[in-house]
Structure 1
């Protein structure tokens, strides 16, 4: 039976995700920005939460751990590099480790940069990846703790996933990201078309998450820091171009 993914808005601009394996009956929370909402959503679906997979330590990603664990007895998996700042951790993971939801196996990818230990969870069989705040539609997270070389290496790991992978990020930031992307890469016709679609979708109240990696590879300026077009404007190698883009976005 196929993996079921339930996406719902929470807090001001977060998305919550519940993954459910019908065969085993297991349900995983991807991050826990709002414990009450996660518990309500799981109850409405008739699902019992058995696990939490945290991507990083920020409160809008791990703040609901303790309450959900108290209510369900679930097992919490968290990134090794951030685990000291996360409550209730039962298991730590890093690059090359795996997680399991019933018969589904997820690969852990180190995507440090936004925080030092940030990880993503890639489920190849379902062709999905949960990337937290490492990558957004047309953007990437602020570089709060990491360095530009570290963050660029993390983005390269995401870029190396199969292009048909669907990415689930944690926030609805796409309209603002599109404005900056058009400034950063003004001659990109695929980006211009994507930005128009985003505007229309948000006007209809539709989410812009999830999104295909293939489209981001063609339009997301942060993932394109190794392209000639971006480097002509922002820096003569990928790390310098990425660093310049990230600094510009901070004050855009």
Structure 2
């Protein structure tokens, strides 16, 4: 089986994703930041949109639902915890639920913290996960609605995926994330190499999404909140407390 993934920029710094199962002809939108862009890209690929999979309620992730559904008649899958704020929901899902795209089975993972109901979609057969704004290369989402304990538990679920998993995040934030990451974890050689690579790629106007879980486990300071070195530098007697200190520092970092 081959899952086709089409990534494209939209809005100011979002990425759009269309995923396509050639065998069934089904195509899912991962979030809908820009309905016109999604419809245009799907048409150019010759793909028929049959589903929308929302990760959370923010307008730059669900704002195109109604227009795409009106144009295609697709089914909207969305997180149960955010469903009241999302238009056109046909199926509300939560941790442990399964979603299908043709023969591909998709596991729903609770990654609440950025919003209370935020979810990710993991397709183990394709070794990919779509994580929205929960996790970014060298960073994580702002904690708008959740608590440090909730958000750390969410990141721990992502940490438990196979290390070879390719992670698709929703924004191009990596260069700014790298600046904070090097400040937060200055002795990390893997991080410094990663950050230098990011600068070089952005200089060439290349995307830094997707990333791999293995790369993030080695270099992303938020995923390293359970490392004794990070606790020693940032304080906290638990990973949750260290994560809270890191997230608060990132919020005010310039």
Q: Indicate whether the TM-score tops 0.5.
A: yes
Q: State the alpha-carbon separation in 2 of the partners of residues 144 and 182 from structure 1.
A: 24
Q: State the alpha-carbon separation in 2 of the partners of residues 142 and 173 from structure 1.
A: 12
Q: State the alpha-carbon separation in 2 of the partners of residues 68 and 230 from structure 1.
A: 44
Alignment of 1:13-28 (within 5 A): 13-28=13-28
**In the alignment, which residue of structure 2 is the partner of 1:57?**
57
**In the alignment, which residue of structure 2 is the partner of 1:239?**
240
**In the alignment, which residue of structure 1 is the partner of 2:211?**
211
Q: Deviations over 1:103-123 (max 9, x none)?
A: 000000000000000000000
Alignment of 1:98-117 (within 5 A): 98-117=98-117
Which stretches of structure 1, 4 residues or more, deviate above 6 A after TM superposition? none
TM-score computed with the length of structure 2 as normaliser = 0.99
Q: State the alpha-carbon separation in 1 of the partners of residues 39 and 161 from structure 2.
A: 32
Q: CA deviation at 1:183?
A: 0.3
Q: CA deviation at 1:24?
A: 0.2
Q: State the alpha-carbon separation in 2 of the partners of residues 250 and 243 from structure 1.
A: 11
Q: State the alpha-carbon separation in 2 of the partners of residues 230 and 173 from structure 1.
A: 22
Q: CA deviation at 1:20?
A: 0.3
Q: State the alpha-carbon separation in 1 of the partners of residues 131 and 70 from structure 2.
A: 26
Q: Which runs of 5+ in 1 are unaligned?
A: none
**In the alignment, which residue of structure 1 is the partner of 2:68?**
68
SS at match of 1:8: strand
Q: CA deviation at 1:96?
A: 0.4
Q: CA deviation at 1:229?
A: 1.2
Alignment of 1:22-101 (within 5 A): 22-101=22-101
SS at match of 1:172: coil
TM-score computed with the length of structure 1 as normaliser = 0.99
Q: CA deviation at 1:243?
A: 0.3
Q: CA deviation at 1:227?
A: 0.3
Q: CA deviation at 1:92?
A: 0.4
Q: State the alpha-carbon separation in 1 of the partners of residues 182 and 55 from structure 2.
A: 29
Q: State the alpha-carbon separation in 1 of the partners of residues 187 and 144 from structure 2.
A: 30
Alignment of 1:126-205 (within 5 A): 126-205=126-205
Q: CA deviation at 1:221?
A: 0.3
Q: State the alpha-carbon separation in 1 of the partners of residues 149 and 3 from structure 2.
A: 35
Aligned residues: 252
Q: CA RMSD in A?
A: 0.5
Q: State the alpha-carbon separation in 1 of the partners of residues 240 and 33 from structure 2.
A: 31
